[in-house]
Amino acid sequence: MKRPKVGFFDFACCEGCQLQVANFGEELLDILDVIDVVEFREVMSEKWEGDFDVAIVEGSITDKHAVERIKRIRERSKVLIAYGSCATIGGVNGMKNAFDLTDIRKYVYGSDYKFFKTQMTKALHQVVKVDYFVNGCPIYPPELVKVLKAALQGIPYYVPDYAVCVDCRLNENVCMYEKGVTCFGPVTRAGCNSWCVNNGNICYGCRGIVSNPNEKGMKEVLTKHNIPIEFILNKVNMYNKCRELVEGGEDDE
Amino acid sequence: MTNKKTLNINVEYITRVEGHGNIVVNVKDGSLEKCQLDIVESPRFFEGMLRGRSVFEAQHITSRICGICSCGHTLASIQAAEDALGFVPSEQTIKLRKLLLHYETLDSHILHIYLLAAPDLLGVKSFVPLIDSHNKVVRRALRMKKTCNEVCEILVGRHVHPISAIAGGFTKLPREKDLDDMLSKLEGMRPDMQATVELALTLKFPDFERDTEYVALVSDDNEYPMLMGEVGSTDGVRMNKKDYKKITNEFIVPHSSAKHTKLSREAYAVGALARFNLNSDKLHPKAKEVATAVGLKPICKNPFLNTAAQLIESVHCLEDCIRIITELKNSGINYNEEIVVGLNEHGKIPVKAGNGAGAVEVPRGILFHNYEIDDKGVIQNANCIIPTNQNLNNIEYDMKKLVPEMLDKSEAEITLGLEMLVRAYDPCISCSTHFLNVKFVNR
């Protein structure tokens, strides 16, 4: 079988999800046996002019230049995988959308702010069609392998649509609410094996919110533990602000 | 110079660097008209986004500035947060943080030496052709990279965006078995490190020098300063980290909208070579041996040798990690220090208004974080100054000296020389909190 041509691309992001690829170690060479990585700017100088069987795209869309570039990548790719929270849900870049864009530009760049153009942060599927989603900040490497296998066979991959709590219970963690802190696990999509809670921290919601969150249950938990609802809403913004975007939201430049 | 060459070099999207940058060089009739490194990364406005968020979230958010230096950002952020809160970390916490920082330095240097810089020195476009031609070398690189990742995973949950390191300490402390695992993995890395040194000795670095000021953390004790210290320079500057703005002196250059920095002269450099130039006498004896073997002596003025300094630091970090873990094994870990803070909902850590700074040596040089918080611990103002930002100006001055020296070479050779120079600094442009440029020449 001819190895499918794969390209890695990035937009506004920290490139940490691409780095996760290098962290596979020698197993990476096994993966490279079945796919032909033809473009990956972070680690390769080679550039590919043809079409891609699979494009793996990290990062959010935050300016006009990026909109054009992701559209071109989409046109050239049979399959497009949104890779990491910035790509799948807008991620931390979305926090910007809670501010007036001109104000935030002035705050960071002072009187030179006009050089620094930006738009409301968007997840990839808010701009182009996305075929597969690998959630997480950073992505959970075993899930990437699952998605790649699905993509290469042309079968769908369904992102778990139940709460992180399910994995967390299986891992026998003590509930963070019992420890007196506010965790986002009850409404966040599972699939990371409750990575953060296993390591003693809370869930921050980086995989996005389940499609049918148990709002009543969440409110009960918050009431029981005396936690104001605004507290949790502010937390939603850290990764999930972009879900509020409506068509034609006000862009700045 | 008699060479009347006219050149227009425009390298769009320099590859094998973290983030997006362009090189623009215009030479007309043998004289250099323009020589700059443009940053075209989309700005992400981290400092703006931090306003209104709890200082206990700052580490989680700013870690996401850069996937490669996420542990470094974490540590600089925690330091700034604790400084603002007036919280003093325990000795055990400091020791574990030093270990974490070493892990990242080791990981990042290995990534740079093998996957990003070595292809240039071996004359290929990337590590991919090396899979066939130098299979053992590639396997060794990936093996070492994976070990760094694994020890990080044991210590803080994962390397990219560490989980358990927070303001106040650690949410999970390594168990005895974890210490043993980390130790055996690191000791197991020694032969690969030896082979890395031997490989590096065969590489030939371009011959080039430019006198500049080197800036890094300095201290009065005998430890090679990475996590703590004052800021010093080879021009004799010494300042407290709180005065970081007097060190970086950010300014706007007319030809580009990227913010640049300078201290005692037109530009300064940070990174492995700067640290080596200031603190080489404090390196581990094994690292000093490597320095002697590669012939690196302070003050080394060849920026291409930053890669050699990274090699020397890799050896130092590996040996110092082994020392720290051995000490921790002997003293035992106090698990009462394990903390659950969340957003400090229940006031486990006393909060007061304040202004705090963090200065940490991350793989690419000194990183500053600064937060101003109110009496509820909410961030009012934030500032992060990253190493690559500080190196940009210095890189341009290097390019301006290098191009005239290479004018008798072909355009392709000059382009490669410039790309190699930029890559030697190991620039991390994705940390684009502070710069950018959208100036396209000749297009």
A27 and A108: one domain?
Answer: yes
- pLDDT confidence bin for B89, thresholds 50/70/90: very high
CATH number at residue B230: 1.10.645.10
A34 and A111: one domain?
Answer: yes
Element (H, E) at B81: helix B70-85
Q: What distance, in Å, lies between the first and last C-alpha atoms of chain B? A: 29
With a cut of 80, say whether residue A115 has pLDDT above it: no
Is residue B335 one of the residues assigned to a domain? Answer: yes
A76 and A142: one domain?
Answer: yes
- pLDDT confidence bin for B313, thresholds 50/70/90: very high
Residue A122: helix, strand or coil by DSSP? strand
Q: What distance, in Å, lies between the first and last C-alpha atoms of chain A? A: 47
Give the position of tokens 């950018």: B436
What is the spatial distance between Cα B6 and Cα B32, in angstroms, rounded to a whole number?
9
Q: What is the pLDDT of residue B413?
A: 87
Total domains in the fold of chain B: 1
- pLDDT confidence bin for B18, thresholds 50/70/90: low
Is residue B415 one of the residues assigned to a domain? Answer: no
Is residue B298 one of the residues assigned to a domain? Answer: yes
Q: Tens of pLDDT along B429-439?
A: 544 333 332 23
The residue among B44, B51, B73, B380 with the most chain A CBs within 10 A of its CB, best to mutate, is: B44
Query: What value does the mean pLDDT take over residues A128-134?
Result: 98
Q: Which residue, A115, A86, A92, A94, is CA-closest to A11?
A: A86
More confident site: A115 or A130 = A130
Taking an 8 Å cut-off on Cβ atoms, the answer to whether B159 and A63 are in contact is no
What is the spatial distance between Cα A137 and Cα A206, in angstroms, rounded to a whole number?
6
Is residue A216 one of the residues assigned to a domain? Answer: yes
- CB-based contacts of B73, cutoff 8 Å, min separation 6: B62, B63, B65, B66, B362, B367, B369, B384, B431
Considering only CB atoms, B340 lies closest to which of A105, A107, A181, namely A181
> Could you tell me if B380 lies within 8 Å of chain A, comparing CB atoms?
no
Picking from A153, A177, A201, the residue at the C-terminal end of a domain is A153
> Could you tell me if A229 lies within 8 Å of chain B, comparing CB atoms?
no
Instruction: Give yes or no for a contact between B235 and B265, defined as CB atoms under 8 angstroms apart.
Output: yes
Q: Which residues of A touch B57 (CB under 8 A)?
A: 238
Kindly state the percentage of chain B with pLDDT values over 70: 91
Kindly state the percentage of chain B with pLDDT values over 90: 65
With a cut of 70, say whether residue B345 has pLDDT above it: yes
How far is Cα of residue B397 from the mean position of the Cα atoms in its chain? 20
Task: Work out the minimum CA distance from A162 to partner chain B, whole angstroms.
Answer: 22
| ipTM at complex level | 0.93
Taking an 8 Å cut-off on Cβ atoms, the answer to whether B68 and A22 are in contact is no
Q: How many Cβ contacts (< 8 angstroms) between chains A and B?
A: 200
Residue A229: helix, strand or coil by DSSP? helix
- pLDDT confidence bin for A246, thresholds 50/70/90: low
Up-side HSE of residue B65: CA atoms within 13 Å toward CB?
33
Give the sign of the dihedral formed by CA B110, CA B111, CA B117, CA B121: positive
What is the spatial distance between Cα B110 and Cα B128, in angstroms, rounded to a whole number?
16
Picking from A104, A131, A153, the residue at the C-terminal end of a domain is A153
A residues 203-222 closer than 8 Å to B (CB): 204
What is the spatial distance between Cα B158 and Cα B65, in angstroms, rounded to a whole number?
16
A147 and A107: one domain?
Answer: yes
Is residue A252 one of the residues assigned to a domain? Answer: no
More confident site: A234 or B236 = B236
Q: Tens of pLDDT along B379-425?
A: 999 999 989 889 989 999 999 999 999 988 988 888 888 888 888 88
What is the spatial distance between Cα A62 and Cα A85, in angstroms, rounded to a whole number?
14
Taking an 8 Å cut-off on Cβ atoms, the answer to whether B138 and A20 are in contact is no
Give the position of tokens 């990253």: B386
What is the spatial distance between Cα B102 and Cα B430, in angstroms, rounded to a whole number?
21
The boundaries of the domain holding residue A169 are 164-244
Is residue B413 one of the residues assigned to a domain? Answer: no
Query: What value does the mean pLDDT take over residues B144-158?
Result: 96
> Could you tell me if B251 lies within 8 Å of chain A, comparing CB atoms?
no
Is residue B282 one of the residues assigned to a domain? Answer: yes
More confident site: B174 or B416 = B174
Average pLDDT, rounded, for chain B: 89
Long-range contacts formed by A147-152: CB under 8 A, 24+ apart: A147/A81, A148/A31, A148/A35, A148/A54, A151/A54, A151/A79, A151/A81, A152/A4, A152/A34, A152/A35, A152/A54
Is residue B417 one of the residues assigned to a domain? Answer: no
Is residue B95 one of the residues assigned to a domain? Answer: yes
What is the spatial distance between Cα A239 and Cα A173, in angstroms, rounded to a whole number?
23
Is residue A249 one of the residues assigned to a domain? Answer: no
Is residue A83 one of the residues assigned to a domain? Answer: yes
> Could you tell me if A240 lies within 8 Å of chain B, comparing CB atoms?
no
Is residue A205 one of the residues assigned to a domain? Answer: yes
Taking an 8 Å cut-off on Cβ atoms, the answer to whether A23 and B146 are in contact is yes
Phi, psi for residue B400 in degrees, rounded to 5: -65, -30
Q: Which residue, B230, B257, B227, B206, is CA-closest to B421?
A: B206
Task: Work out the minimum CA distance from A182 to partner chain B, whole angstroms.
Answer: 7
The residue among A45, A46, A99 with the most chain B CBs within 10 A of its CB, best to mutate, is: A45
A141 and A191: one domain?
Answer: no
Is residue A159 one of the residues assigned to a domain? Answer: no
Span of A127-136, B24-33, B86-95, B375-384 with lowest mean pLDDT: B24-33
Antiparallel, parallel or unpaired: β A52-58 and A5-10? parallel
Give the sign of the dihedral formed by CA B62, CA B68, CA B74, CA B79: negative
> Could you tell me if A164 lies within 8 Å of chain B, comparing CB atoms?
no
Instruction: Give yes or no for a contact between B407 and B118, defined as CB atoms under 8 angstroms apart.
Output: no
A184 and A136: one domain?
Answer: no
Side by side, the strands of the sheet bearing A5-10 are A36-40, A5-10, A52-58, A77-83, A132-134
Taking an 8 Å cut-off on Cβ atoms, the answer to whether B164 and A92 are in contact is no
A139 and A40: one domain?
Answer: yes
Span of A190-204, B109-123, B141-155 with lowest mean pLDDT: B109-123
Angle at CA of residue A9, ends A7 and A11, nearest 5° = 170
How far is Cα of residue B107 from the mean position of the Cα atoms in its chain? 11
With a cut of 60, say whether residue A249 has pLDDT above it: no
Taking an 8 Å cut-off on Cβ atoms, the answer to whether A104 and B45 are in contact is yes
A21 and A132: one domain?
Answer: yes
What is the spatial distance between Cα B89 and Cα B84, in angstroms, rounded to a whole number?
13
With a cut of 90, say whether residue B337 has pLDDT above it: yes
With a cut of 50, say whether residue B221 has pLDDT above it: yes
More confident site: B431 or A164 = A164
Kindly state the percentage of chain A with pLDDT values over 70: 96
Taking an 8 Å cut-off on Cβ atoms, the answer to whether A116 and B345 are in contact is no
Q: What is the pLDDT of residue B438?
A: 26
Picking from A130, A153, A176, the residue at the C-terminal end of a domain is A153
With a cut of 80, say whether residue A62 has pLDDT above it: yes
A112 and A37: one domain?
Answer: yes
CATH number at residue A83: 3.40.50.700
Q: What is the pLDDT of residue A1?
A: 65
Q: What is the pLDDT of residue B25?
A: 81
Q: Which residues of A touch B15 (CB under 8 A)?
A: 41-42, 44-45, 47
Q: Which residues of A touch B18 (CB under 8 A)?
A: 15, 42
Q: What is the pLDDT of residue B12?
A: 64
Q: What is the pLDDT of residue B300?
A: 98
B residues 137-166 closer than 8 Å to A (CB): 138-139, 142-143, 145-146, 149, 156-161, 163-164, 166
Taking an 8 Å cut-off on Cβ atoms, the answer to whether A16 and B13 are in contact is no
A77 and A180: one domain?
Answer: no
Is residue A250 one of the residues assigned to a domain? Answer: no
- Alpha-helical runs (H) found in chain A: 16-22, 27-34, 64-76, 85-88, 101-109, 141-153, 164-170, 195-198, 215-224, 229-240
Query: What value does the mean pLDDT take over residues B189-211?
Result: 93
Taking an 8 Å cut-off on Cβ atoms, the answer to whether B15 and A45 are in contact is yes
Is residue B423 one of the residues assigned to a domain? Answer: no
pTM of the model: 0.93
The boundaries of the domain holding residue B192 are 44-407
Q: What is the pLDDT of residue B126?
A: 79
A112 and A186: one domain?
Answer: no
A144 and A169: one domain?
Answer: no
- pLDDT confidence bin for B122, thresholds 50/70/90: confident
Total domains in the fold of chain A: 2
A residues 110-149 closer than 8 Å to B (CB): 112, 115-118, 137-138
Q: Tens of pLDDT along A16-51?
A: 999 898 888 888 888 888 999 998 877 777 778 899
With a cut of 50, say whether residue B286 has pLDDT above it: yes
Q: What is the pLDDT of residue B443?
A: 25
Average pLDDT, rounded, for chain A: 90
Q: Tens of pLDDT along B318-335?
A: 999 999 999 999 999 999
Q: What is the pLDDT of residue A152?
A: 92
- pLDDT confidence bin for A250, thresholds 50/70/90: low
Span of A29-38, A49-58, A188-197 with lowest mean pLDDT: A29-38
Is residue A22 one of the residues assigned to a domain? Answer: yes
Taking an 8 Å cut-off on Cβ atoms, the answer to whether B67 and A99 are in contact is no
